[in-house]
């Protein structure tokens, strides 16, 4: 069977068109690929910058919270102890040796308590050192300080001796805990605080619960006050985790953070 000249011309035309169009498609594909790659790189850089900024912000907030704790303790606790020490020493009558000895002993005990409190505060000043000992140690230290006020019954339950988290994640998780605890102290009007930390299947679960007045989540979310809650959710999402908030008026609040280790 012979091929006519028309068919030959037609085949040549098709082949020519294919050879002309193919490079165009290749160029378009490479261009789109490069554009997507560039966008991906830019998004990755932007996300890293956002995370670095958030990490820096969390570090600053941890230090600010530490300084606030320090100021309150200096004023309410150590200041009172030193004031009592001065008052006790000032009331000593050397002519009554028996009472003088008792008061000197009391002043000595007050001074020792002051030294102990100052040492505890010096540890608190080194937030990074506290966190370097692990999340459990950092949370325990914070709860011990809150318990000193004797205004709250603290229950801390942990099934894990330690949680293995990178330093950047550790700071953000600890700040989430601090922020939640601070909200309870300021707004919840609670008398009991329950904290649970456990690690299962490479997942860290941090639960913070109080028996306070609670709130309507929908109302808070739609108001300006909801910024703090959304900020906690955003931070948890940034490290691949989630935050679940359960609260009702008069029924207290439970916040659960789930973070991949």
DSSP per position, 52-104: HHHHHHHHHHHHHHHHHHHHHHIIIIIHHHHHHHHHHHHT--TTSHHHHHHHH
Give me the pLDDT at residue 226, please: 61
Q: Is residue 179's pLDDT more than 80?
A: yes
Distance CA 57, CA 50 (A): 10
- pLDDT bracket for residue 227 (50, 70, 90): low
Distance CA 137, CA 89 (A): 38
- pLDDT bracket for residue 77 (50, 70, 90): low
Residue 223 or residue 238, greater confidence: 238
- pLDDT bracket for residue 71 (50, 70, 90): low
| Assessment of whether the complete model's pTM goes beyond 0.75 | no
Distance CA 172, CA 231 (A): 12
Average pLDDT in the chain? 79
Locate the domains of the chain by residue range: 1-125, 135-261
CATH number of 135-261: 3.30.565.10
Residue 118 or residue 130, greater confidence: 118
Residue 158 or residue 88, greater confidence: 158
- pLDDT bracket for residue 130 (50, 70, 90): low
């Amino acid at each position: 069977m012979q091929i006519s000249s028309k068919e030959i011309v037609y085949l040549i035309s098709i082949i020519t068109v294919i050879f002309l169009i193919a490079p165009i498609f290749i160029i378009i594909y490479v261009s789109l690929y490069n554009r997507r790659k560039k966008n991906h790189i830019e998004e990755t850089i932007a996300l890293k910058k956002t995370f670095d900024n958030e990490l820096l912000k969390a570090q600053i907030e941890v230090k600010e919270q530490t300084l606030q704790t320090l100021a309150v303790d200096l004023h309410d606790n150590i200041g009172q102890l030193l004031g009592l020490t001065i008052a006790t020493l000032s009331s000593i009558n050397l002519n009554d040796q028996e009472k003088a000895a008792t008061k000197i002993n009391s002043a000595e005990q007050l001074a020792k308590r002051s030294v102990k409190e100052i040492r505890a505060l010096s540890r608190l000043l080194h937030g990074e050192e506290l966190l370097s000992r692990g999340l459990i140690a950092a949370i325990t230290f914070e709860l011990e300080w809150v318990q000193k006020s004797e205004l709250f019954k603290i229950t801390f339950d942990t099934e894990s001796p330690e949680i293995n988290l990178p330093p950047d994640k550790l700071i953000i998780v600890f700040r989430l805990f601090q922020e939640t605890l601070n909200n309870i102290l300021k707004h919840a009007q609670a008398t009991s605080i329950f904290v649970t930390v456990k690690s299962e299947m490479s997942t860290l679960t941090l639960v913070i619960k109080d028996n306070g007045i609670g709130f309507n989540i929908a109302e808070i979310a739609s108001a300006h006050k909801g910024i703090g809650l959304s900020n906690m959710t955003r931070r948890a999402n940034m490290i691949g985790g989630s935050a679940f908030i359960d609260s009702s008026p008069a029924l207290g609040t439970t916040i659960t953070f789930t973070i991949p280790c």
